[in-house]
Amino acid sequence: METPAFLDRDRPDVPDLVVPGGVTPFYLQGRPVRGRLVRLGVLTDVLLTRHDHPGVVNRLAGKALALVAGLASALKFQGAFSLQIKGDGPVTMLVADCTDTGALRFYARTDDDALDALLEETPNPTDRELLGDGYMALTVDQGADMERHQGIVDLAGDDLATMAVHYFNTSEQHACWIYLCCTMTDAGWRAGSLVLERIAGEGGTAVVGEENADASWETATILASTLSTKEVLDDTLSSATLLHRLFHQEDLHVSQPRALAYGCRCSRARLSDVLQGFDADDLDHMCQDDGQIVMTCEFCNHDFRFPRKDITPRTP
């Protein structure tokens, strides 16, 4: 007997992929610096190639995924941490989120005509040229029973890393340094990030003197600036080795790595519940000639088909 849609919580046939050491947290003992090195590895290619976007959009989306992974892993929460950007550029919306367990997903909406026109004039556009003017929102959503925490700022800067730093300077009044990268390699798409945060102290050791703290933070950012995209995206180079190259003279302490995974959370039951929120006329309008309503999950690009006769609107 076929399971009714509203009870069918099976996931579609999507990759079951986990990157065990996707995020490597660390801190510099006695200095006001903690950070995360994020390397999505093959997960990048699996996430991006579920969609049929041009390379420049994939590059932007990969950086967004590396960013949310780096930011979410610094928080203590249960639920999802999300980045949402809405702008008036060819990429009209970009959403990426990461759960407390490291499950990642994204989607991007584009104005295809505007994107074609931009790429004809500028084959390698900046993130800002893709997004245009708009806003960035970062949200912690811990479910219906918990208050959502959200900050919103205008887009500022030419690249996504600068936009994120602007968010923290403006909304959180919190100093940070962010490096993002994503590119197509011989092994497929790869993405990564390095996020540094300035804090009062770490590992139980207080930072003595504001002047020393300023100097330590400046030193850490200068060392981080020597990082190359080639290093971050090199599958053969361990994260511990890479961090040692950067910070071995700064009393580096590497913490337990955290896993990242393919993380779309769609199901027939969830989408059936959405459909039941529409009235009968709207459902009839959605129905195709074969009597089916098709809903596409924008995160995993999977089509769900529902017989119209099986969907009954909820009573108001």
- pLDDT < 70: residue spans in the chain: 1-15, 143-145, 201-210, 264-267, 295-297, 299-304, 315-316
Q: Output the CATH code of domain 21-262.
A: 3.55.30.10
CATH homologous superfamily of domain 267-310? HSP33 redox switch-like (3.90.1280.10)
d(CA 80, CA 97) in angstroms, rounded, equals 6
Does an H or E element contain 240, and which? helix 239-247
Are 21-262 and 267-310 in the same CATH fold?
no
Contact 43, 260 (CB under 8 A): yes
Q: Which structure tokens are listed for 308?
A: 């119209």
Over residues 242-283, the pLDDT tens digits come to 999 999 999 999 999 999 998 766 667 777 777 788 888 878
Q: Determine the pLDDT at residue 42.
A: 95
**The token pair that represents 316 in the structure block:** 């108001």
pLDDT of residue 6: 42
Domain boundaries, the chain: 21-262, 267-310
Cβ atoms within 10 A of the Cβ of 84, count? 17
What pLDDT is attached to residue 315? Answer: 60
Reading the block at residue 28, the tokens are 């510099």
CB 258: neighbour CB atoms within 10 A? Answer: 19
Structure token digits, residue 192: 């990564």
Please tell me the distance from the alpha carbon of residue 102 to that of residue 182, in angstroms, as a whole number. Answer: 19
Rg (C-alpha) for the chain, rounded Å, is 22
pLDDT at 220: 96
Residue 205: the pLDDT is: 46
